[in-house]
Each structure stands twice: as C-alpha cells, then as structure tokens.
Amino acid sequence: MKIDGGFGVLRRRCLRPVLVTLALLVVSVFSTLPSEAKSRKATASAERPSAPADPASVVGAGPKQRVVSFTFKQLGAVTPIRLRGVEGAASLPFSIRSDEVVTAAKLKLGYSYSPSLLAELSHLNVMLNGEVSSVIALPREKGLANTREIDLDPRLFTDYNKLQFRLIGHYTYKCEDPLHTSLWLELSNLGQLELTLAPLALANDLKYLPLPFFDRRDNATLKLPFVFGAAPSFGTLRAAGVLASWFGGLASYRGARFPTLLNTLPEGNAVVFLQGGEKISGLHGAAGATVSIEPHPTNPGAKLLLITGDNDEEMMRAARSIVLGNGILGGQRVTVTQDVEPPVRKPYDAPAWVPTDRPVRFAELVPQEELQVQGFFPDVIRVNFRVTPDLFTWRSPGVPLELKYRFTALPFNKSSSLNVNINGDFVRALALDESGKKLEGKDLLRLPLLDKNLALREDVLFVPPYQVGGRNQLQFHYYFELVKEGECRDSLPDNLQGAINPESTLDFSGFPHYSALPDLATFSRIGFPFTRLADLSETAVVLPEQPNADEIGAYLVLMGRMGEATAYPVLRHALVSAAEVEKVANRDLLVIGSAQDQSLMTKWADQLPLLQVDGEHRLREPDIFRRAVYRWEEEDVQLTPFPEGSLKLKGGGDLASLMAFESPLLSRRSVVLLYADKSADLAKIADAMFDSERVKNVQGDFVVADEKGDSHAKVGKTYYVGSLPLTLHLRWIFSKHPLLASLLGILIAVLLATIAYRTLRRIAAQRLGKKA
C-alpha cells in the first residue's frame, strides 16, 4: 500500500506540469483561430471541398471580398409576406456557394402591422437557421411603413440556410380569437438580404466539377465566359455548344449566359477551348483530347476549365467526357483516348419531361416530404412538371388526374376544402367534410401516422387541356375551417395535417401528338419542336461563315436553353455554315445572324416574315393565293403587313427579332431565325426569353425584342406536325370547316340517292319484264 501510494503521488507530481503545459498550448492555439473559422468548421456540409484551416489566408481585406444582395422576391416571396394569427410564421430558404464564406450579413426589412396589437405582448422574431437573431417590438403608434436593419451573425450561416419570421401577436388581455382579423403583420417582398462574401481556396481537381464554374447553391443567373482562339473551327464551336447545354441543364431555373471572348481571358473563372497549336495568354493544350483545371495566369483566385484537342473530333470527345463523365473524372488533367456515344434519344423522352405513354406518379415529380403540410394556414403544395406542348386534346374532358390525399378530419367541420389549381387557374375544390367518418383498417395501414383523426380520399379530376402545355405547376391548397365554440372556448388545433399521396397519377397517354406551327411561345418556353428529341439529333444550327463573338454567344445561350428545357446535353446537333445548309435539309434549323452576316436572309427572303425594302423594315404581306388559303384555316391569321395594335417598328438599325416559319428545304420542318441589325443586339432576344414577364410576349411567328416593350405578330402560313388517327382527323377538319362538311354531306346524299334510284329502276324493270 505504501509503495502503491507513493508511486501514485509521484505519478501525479510528474504528470501535473505536463498536463498543464498541454492545456495552455491548446488554449493558445485555439485563441489564434478566428471565430468564423471555428463556426464554419462545425457547420459546413460534408459536400464542401477541403479548404485552408485558417480563413485569414483566403479572406481578403478588400478586393477579394464581394457584396451581394437579394430581395425577398428573388428568394421566393412572389407577393408580400403576410403573417396571421397568434403565431403566424413564414420562411425563406437560400444557400451559400461552396467556395465562399460569409464574413458579414445585414437584413433590411420593410413591414407594417395591425395597430390593434398589444405592444407589451406582441413582437416579431427574426431567426436564422432556428437561432433568434432579433426580436422586434411592435408599438401601437408605429403600425405602418416601418423599416429596420438587422446585423446577422456570420457564424450562423451554413451551405443551406433558412431565414424565418414569426409573429407573436395579441390584441386583448382576456379571451381572444386566435384568428382575429386584427392579428396580422406584413413584410414587404422588397426587403433585402445583404451578404459580404470572401473566397475559399479550392484545389485544381476535376473531381469537384462543376465547381467552381457552377455551384448549385448559388441562386443567381450563371454567367460563365467561354474563351476561344481568334478563329475557332465549327467543330470547336460544336463542342462548346454541347458543354453549354450541360451547364444550362445544371443552372435550371437560374438561367445561363455565356459571354464569349476571342483570344483573351476574363478576370474570373472561364472555360477555354484550344485546338491544335492555339495559345492564349501562355495557355496551350496537351496532345490528344484533354480536359484540365488550370490556375488563372493573372488572377490566383480564379480557375480555367481547359478543353483541348488536335482536331474537331478530339475536341468533341473531350467535351463529351465532361457531360457524360458521371463524376469519374479526377486529378488536374485527364486525356480521353476513347469514348462511346450514348444511343440516339427517342421522341419525347427528355429526362425533364413527363412520359406521355403511361401515367406518371407524383413520386416521380417531387420528393415525398414536399407533398405534406401542416398547420392551420398550411403552405401550398406545388408539383412542377414539363410536358410536350403538341398533345392534341381537342374535345377531351381534360387530362385525367387520379388524386389521392389525406387530411386531419375536424368534428362538425363542413367548410374545409382542398383547392386544386393548374398554373394559377382554378380547377376544382374538394370538400373535406369527414366528420363522423370511420376509417377501415386497410386505410389506416396506408397512413404514415396512425392517427384516428386522419382521413383518406381518392378522386378523379380532369385538368382542363387548354391550361396544360410546356412548363406547368399543379397547386394544392388546404383550407381548414375553425368551428366557433363560443367566447373563451376557441383554440387552434395543433395537429392539422394535409398530404398528397405520392401514388397520385397524371395521365397524358391518351392524347396523340399533333400541333400547329410556327409557334414561338412553345419554342421560347421549352424549345419545341427542336427538343422533341432531347439530344437534338434532328436539329442543325446555321451560323455565318465567320461568326463573331456576339453570334457565338447567342448560339451558346441557345444551346444552354435547350439543355435546360430537356435536362440532357445536345450531343447530336449539327453545326453548319449557310453554304452547307443543303446538307442538313432534313433537319429542323436554328439560324443565327446579324446585319448582312447571314446570307440566308437574302436567299430565303420570300419565306421570312420580315423584309428590308429601301432600308426600311416591313412585314411581308401574304400573296393573293395565300389569302385564299388562310380563309380555310382555323387560326386567327393577320392578313395585313402591319397587324393592328400588335407591332411597332422603328428605324435606326437596332432591330432584334425572332422569326419562325416552315423550312424552304423540306415541308413540315421548322426554322427559327434569330436576327439583329447589330450583332450585340442578339442579347436582347436572350433577355426576352429569360425574363418570366417578357417571355409572355414571345408568341406567334414574329417577335421584335426590345427592353422597352416586346411586340409579336402572326403573319406567315400555318403548317402542322405530328399525326392523328384517320377518324379523329376527319372529325376535326369537318368541325373547323362546317361549310365543307355540309357540301360533303349533300354530295354523299346525292350519291346515295342516285345509287338507290338506279337500283330501284332496275328492280322495277325486272318486275315489268316478268309480267310481260
């Protein structure tokens, strides 16, 4: 015991100074780390690439940092945010790029609230990721037009964030109605979130692609420069178009722009294409089809995605390795020795489009957690989908929607409902009057929560066919009725839930494919008819013989738009000059040109909706023969060169227009022409197609794009693509031309009468002969 005790005392005396020294060392090390780094390390997602342990080494004191600002409208609040009831709540999600860290943040609010709120009991909580950032008092005398600036703690930011607002409101000290009309607060959707961001270092490794060139956490429009040599070949440009479509698909709703530079580098991240012995600012490609990540020669914080090859085929092979690599690329540089192209896509099988040969389940369109809501004022359940716009739905009751839904059944509840809308237009209201109904055991087994107050329903609805086409959104909104029980007895149930069953289906399989063209509305929204095949295997793009940077940029933006519409790269599109257009006569054509750059403007003058006569822009007037033909068509076609009230043209050489017409090379093939008097004005067309408000004016077969107001018209002839069953086609034609149907009926009646007359005369003659 003495020996053991002595040894224990000796051990404690020897280890104590060692432990103290280690503790002091740990404290000193951690005291040197900025609080932002420790918080970032604790909250960063596992998806983030490795970064230096000390942000001070990458966070600049000035130029390296950037300040960005987002309005609440840009974060998803289309209308002002209205908080109602004793505990009204709303949230706005947003994200931070993987290669940036927040160093400072400020929230600018504009709000109004009910003057009936009790100041000592009412307040507004502002929270970031569940942490209270500010509590705003609501004094009675300042109910309208308030502003407030709040500093947010940068340590609370992660990759994915949620800004939350919660109203705690009371209007009386005694018994109160929890849904009284005086319990409200409204936040302007023009409020702003201002972030100061500093860059984080990212290794030169292909495994991080598409970082840093595209980050899905960045909600801003993708602006990625593409750099070429002084005179890129059409093969190089085609490879760039494939890569642009891939980035466009990744950018999705954000939109993608590709500023084009020739023989010069931008200051930031960029994609560089070098063929053969081309060099730009000291950059040169390796032998063979090669993809690499290179540091920017003059900006250490930027990176370059370098695509090189000795010929057009190797350039295309290098581009395909990125869009079809499926994350297998790694290291700073990869040389692709061989690849196999995927099979040709089938019509209407774009990954972003719903199938039209079978019913599609909601589980295929949206995650299950987004199909459930809770609370007395639940949010709208939204189901986004895209469908080909050439479905022929004439005289059909609509698109069958087999809806399966669940909800909390309230006793004595007679006015609760589930409203169904499509693209904001009302379809039907389903009554939720389930009081007193008992569920069977088989129904309970289908519920995620075995709650006796939950009810299950199935209904078949028909979505109006004229409201569906291209990009669509189904909206389901639960409205729960609170039954008034008397003073001091009303309370809000805390278990209200509603859900749409993911096994609900939408069925487009009963409709044939047949549509009238040209139609720039379907082109601008979903790229139809070119995107009928997702890889654009029946599409050719026609550029001038020597396209300039603006025309190349318009081509890249267009390919990005096609990739976004289908979620598939344009691997099989053809790219030719105007002199080679006869080689692609069997394809649909996208033609890009400016001023006198595009020779097809002269060659196809008789087909274009727009003509240039004596230096003036005029709409072509249909000839006498076409006037006669138009009178038999069902569309409302304008027969005058200047459609009344729909189009205004002005001189000055700054016209930017979008035209659509049937291909002069092959019937039932389509041509869309992007034209501008000045090549720089081609960007106006892209602006009109990307703007959610302006794109509504892109329709007909001729559009003039102008930031002051877009104009459209229908001046050319109509043609049809697709096919219909014979009987349905005849019914449709006769319904559109009743006079023709009447004449045909008369002819058939005369023919039948003639046949009957001849037959009866022959029978009568035979009888008379027998009697004789």
Give the model confidence (pLDDT) of 135-145 as tens digits: 999 998 887 88
Mean pLDDT of 353-365: 94
Mean pLDDT of 422-446: 66
pLDDT of residue 645: 37
| 124 touches 138 (CB < 8 A) | yes
CA distance 86 to 535: 54
Mean pLDDT of 740-761: 86
pLDDT of residue 617: 67
| 332 touches 293 (CB < 8 A) | yes
pLDDT of residue 245: 97
Asked if the model's pLDDT at residue 562 lies above 50, the reply is yes
DSSP string, 270-334: EEEEEETT-EETTEEPPSSEEEEEEE-SS-TT-EEEEEEESSHHHHHHHHHHHHT-TT---SSEE
Structure-model confidence comparison of residues 374 and 482, the more confident one: 374
Asked if the model's pLDDT at residue 69 lies above 60, the reply is yes
| 313 touches 362 (CB < 8 A) | no
Structure-model confidence comparison of residues 412 and 126, the more confident one: 126
Asked if the model's pLDDT at residue 8 lies above 90, the reply is no
Mean pLDDT of 40-66: 41
Q: Are strands 588-594 and 539-543 parallel, antiparallel or unpaired?
A: parallel
Mean pLDDT of 628-656: 47
The mean-pLDDT minimum among 21-30, 241-250, 497-506, 648-657 falls in 21-30
Mean pLDDT of 332-357: 92
pLDDT mean across residues, the chain: 81
Cα distances from 13 to residues 6, 24, 646, in angstroms, run 11, 18, 95
Residue type, 296: H
CA distance 273 to 335: 15
The CA-CA-CA angle for residues 614, 616, 620, to 5°, reads 100
Mean pLDDT of 455-471: 85
- Please indicate, yes or no, whether the overall pTM of this predicted structure exceeds 0.85: no
Residues 6+ positions from 347 with CB-CB distance below 8 Å: 513, 532, 533
pLDDT of residue 731: 81
For the purposes of burial, counting CB atoms within 10 Å of the CB of 441, is it exposed (0-12), middle (13-18) or buried (19 or more)?
exposed
Q: pLDDT tens digits for 219-270? A: 888 999 999 998 899 999 999 999 999 999 999 988 999 999 999 999 889 9
Q: pLDDT confidence of 653, banded at 50, 70, 90?
A: low
The mean-pLDDT minimum among 401-410, 543-552, 596-605 falls in 596-605
Q: pLDDT confidence of 618, banded at 50, 70, 90?
A: low
Mean pLDDT of 356-375: 92
Q: pLDDT confidence of 693, banded at 50, 70, 90?
A: confident
